[in-house]
Chains A and B, each alone.
Chain A
């Protein structure tokens, strides 16, 4: 039986065929070091990365694509922003639904540099109240870091309202679950930094991600090294994207990401959102009839992305996920989803939950199969 892949929030699968084709082409036809040499293969590799950058700029409606730097993943992008902006003694705002890609760097900065972190509550795994940001802001507040949508409850945060409450304080947005899944422009979001991953809704391969940085913001590099530019200087260039892109990049992966982005932009982010919202609504409706099942976060599909975490009375999350795979070939993710803070917020720590997440290629029949499986397992306890 063909597995039903409902772990799209971890990484999207399958990918559009053009992604693998682009990566194969890049690897076999011109796998040179981009922008380092002057020969045609190096130039071709640099063009592949340039194309990916321009497509990200289109996705976020950004005019100057040089403000987009690629990283290995969204974790590195967030670390780049946090370590590049926060200094000893600063104050930082975040929410109770953040991933460890935010909480761990903030924990390190708090412990080692005395950075003060205020966690704005998200009651029941729902959205934060923008007024709480206004209330918690101090003269030392360096930035706020907020995920656009939770990887646990899927709730969509009111970014523009949060930014309005922050005023001049920069807003760093973790768009891991939303870039390519929700219409998102740099201007409308209120973000000063948008950190994204390539391997989820953007349909690219793992090992790709990046960040858009507002022209008003300078981020100190996290990594220093070769860029192919200003080679006569032993200091990192001050211009983007080179400032944040030391070392040979993942050319093959970025060629794949460009193909994924092209697919997403051609399909239309709003169409993708509509499809995923329909699947989520179908799942939530079905889940409401499963005995002993608890869904975390808001039940309104308009207020969440296609991520649903749940528990069933009498089942541990790991046993439930295991039975879903063994008995029904349904692939989900159990546990804490690298977000212990979020699980504390929803009252599911330390046991965690089972997360179902849907994507562009999932179908209503697959949702029905998942609901049917949950119903049978709920009655088996």
Chain B
């Protein structure tokens, strides 16, 4: 079955690790994944979360002062840009 999720691309590995700490502290579900090559040639990491948690995750990233460069809805290997990026 295709994996369905929301993927957040952050500015740098520093920001990804800052996000990791904040998300862990908040108890929100997430994974760190390699930045999908389908969306960005970047060689860093991205934050992946279930779609129903995307708004909460996005809010927390904003509150932590992190810069979301882009966000995508993922279905398998298909990535659809979220425009606007999910926010409450």
Contact = CB atoms under 8 A, between A and B. Distances in A.
Interface in B31-46: 32-35, 40-45
A229 B11 contact: yes
Nearest to B40: A232
B12 A232 contact: no
A38 B34 contact: yes
Contacts of A37: 43
A207 B62 CA distance: 35
Given A38-B33, A46-B17, A237 B45 contact: no
B13 A46 contact: yes
Contact of B43 (A43, A228, A241): A228
Q: Which of A38, A227, A242 has the most CB of B within 10 A?
A: A38
Interface of B: 11-15, 17-18, 32-35, 40-45, 65
A82 B14 CA distance: 25
Interface string A32-71: 0011111000010011001001000000000011100000
Contacts of A87: none
Interface of A: 34-38, 43, 46-47, 50, 53, 64-66, 227-232, 237, 239, 241-242
B45 A38 contact: yes
Contacts of B40: 232
Contacts of A36: 43
13 contacts: A37-B43, A38-B43, A38-B44, A47-B17, A50-B18, A53-B14, A64-B65, A66-B14, A227-B12, A228-B13, A231-B43, A239-B11, A239-B12
Nearest to B33: A38
A117 to B, nearest CB: 35
A50 B17 contact: yes
A231 B41 contact: yes
A66 B35 CA distance: 20
B19 to A, nearest CB: 11
A228 B17 contact: no
Given A239-B11, A242-B12, A229 B45 contact: no
Q: Which of B14, B18, B32, B33 has the most CB of A within 10 A?
A: B14
B8 to A, nearest CB: 15
Contacts of B44: 35, 38, 228-229
Contact of A231 (B17, B42, B45): B42
Nearest to B11: A239
A237 B69 CA distance: 14
A226 to B, nearest CB: 9
Q: Which of B11, B17, B35 has the most CB of A within 10 A?
A: B17
A37 to B, nearest CB: 8
A229 B18 CA distance: 15
A35 B20 CA distance: 14
B49 to A, nearest CB: 17
Contact of A50 (B14, B34, B65): B14
A228 B14 CA distance: 11
Nearest to A51: B17
Nearest to A245: B14
A101 B73 CA distance: 51
Contacts of B35: 38
A244 to B, nearest CB: 12
B11 A43 contact: no
Contacts of A227: 12
A27 to B, nearest CB: 21
Contacts of B33: 38
Contacts of A65: 14, 18
A47 B18 CA distance: 10
A46 B43 CA distance: 14
